[in-house]
Amino acid sequence: MNLPWLKSYTQNLKKDNLHHSLIISGREGLGKNYLAEGLIQGILCTNSKDLEPCGKCQSCKLYESDNHPDFHKIDLEDGRKSISINQIRAFYLEMFESPFLGGNKIFFIPRSNLLSRESYDALLKTLEEPPKNTFIILINSDSQNLPATILSRCHEINIKKPQDEELKSWLEKQEVNIDSLDQLIDLSKGKPLRALELEQTKSIELRSEFIADISSLIKQGNNISEITDKWIKNEESLLLQIEWMSDLLMDILRMRFYEDEKNIFSDTANISTYMEDKIEPIEVFKLLDKTINLWNKFYKNNNLRQDYHLQSLLVDWNSAIGLRS
């Protein structure tokens, strides 16, 4: 996939003086993994002097077929919750072996947020002085979470959202429905891959239904079991709709405390404005807490009584905001 907004991040990097430890950071949906893949292939490519891979040499072919002997990926092992110190030690040893193809070696940690505290400490040593021709590449979705000691030893490439115009013209080329373009940009909060995903999962239709459901929940409140039955039918859209519920509450807080009307979701502006007028901030915080908690519960555990938990959340919403006294 061609992601034009990523170009500016690598075009000034030179292969011969590239920092040996790189962190690619930025929010989800901006293309961190695509940038990493291009960069990795460029570093490994034995044909090109810059970071644009030739796509023809043995190294490029091996990388593209997922078989490059000098490319090492460190990710979560089955059944584990974090990347263990033993994995880091193992890769430390591998690091001092000669490269099979005689070129560069890469150690790639695509989910560095899953490193345990001890792994971070072990990693520090290698970031400081990796052997010659060795590159370490980390991806992090929130560089705030990375210890400063790690950040200070790496060159950080921080991907930002593209401008609306650039995003719009890219989305048009992906053949998304032109009528829903603005809504996609709004809903994805300007994150291109997220916008595309929303289009592909037909989330614009879901969004209209969501708005209708929430409006009637607030106005009448007699459709709670109906909404519950409908929402729990699909795991993914259930999570998305609960996320949208918390977005609505966040919008109320934005209006109340920051007078920030520009950054609220425009398609639910009627509802959030109505709610802002109707409900005390303390209640908004309480509802937000419950809503986010439920999202986390559903995200982590599929064995919950979803109908019971969702219904209870909707009842809380209705009694806090509903028109019925």
Closest to Zn ion by CB, 41 or 237: 41
Residues 106-165 that bind Zn ion (CB under 5 A): none
> With contact defined as beta carbons under 8 Å apart, do 60 and 187 qualify?
no
Stretch that binds Zn ion, among 12-20, 51-59, 66-74, 142-150 (CB under 5 A): 51-59
DSSP state letter for 223: -
Closest to Zn ion by CB, 26 or 53: 53
Stretch that binds Zn ion, among 2-10, 53-61, 138-146, 297-305 (CB under 5 A): 53-61
Rounded Cα distance between 167 and 138, Å, is: 26
Closest to Zn ion by CB, 66 or 179: 66
Q: Is 262 exposed, middle or buried (0-12, 13-18, 19+ CB in 10 A)?
A: exposed
Q: Which residue in 144, 146, 192, 195 sits closest to 35, CA to CA?
A: 192
Cβ-Cβ contacts under 8 Å for 103 (sequence gap 6 or more): 44, 46, 59, 70, 133
Angle between helix 306-321 and 203-219 (nearest 10):
50
Rounded Cα distance between 4 and 174, Å, is: 13
Single residue of 45, 198, 245, 264 touching Zn ion by CB under 5 A:
45
Shortest CB 54 distance to Zn ion, Å = 4
Counting residues that bind Zn ion (by CB under 5 A) gives: 6
Stretch that binds Zn ion, among 59-67, 70-78, 279-287, 294-302 (CB under 5 A): 59-67
Stretch that binds Zn ion, among 31-39, 50-58, 152-160, 250-258 (CB under 5 A): 50-58
Cβ-Cβ contacts under 8 Å for 12 (sequence gap 6 or more): none
- Token digits for 297? 């519960």
Shortest CB 305 distance to Zn ion, Å = 54
Single residue of 8, 11, 33, 47 touching Zn ion by CB under 5 A:
47
Single residue of 22, 23, 24, 60 touching Zn ion by CB under 5 A:
60
Shortest CB 37 distance to Zn ion, Å = 14
Stretch that binds Zn ion, among 57-65, 128-136, 210-218, 265-273 (CB under 5 A): 57-65
From edge to edge, which strands make up the β-sheet containing 71-73? 71-73, 105-109, 134-140, 21-25, 155-158
Single residue of 54, 90, 269, 323 touching Zn ion by CB under 5 A:
54
Rounded Cα distance between 198 and 5, Å, is: 19
Stretch that binds Zn ion, among 46-54, 180-188, 238-246, 299-307 (CB under 5 A): 46-54
Residue 158 three-state SS: strand
Q: Which residue in 168, 163, 194 sits closest to 180, CA to CA?
A: 168
Shortest CB 21 distance to Zn ion, Å = 23
Amino acid at the residue 148: A
Single residue of 57, 85, 204, 288 touching Zn ion by CB under 5 A:
57
> With contact defined as beta carbons under 8 Å apart, do 88 and 119 qualify?
yes
Shortest CB 116 distance to Zn ion, Å = 35
**Which positions lie near Zn ion, rule CB under 5 A?**
45, 47, 53-54, 57, 60
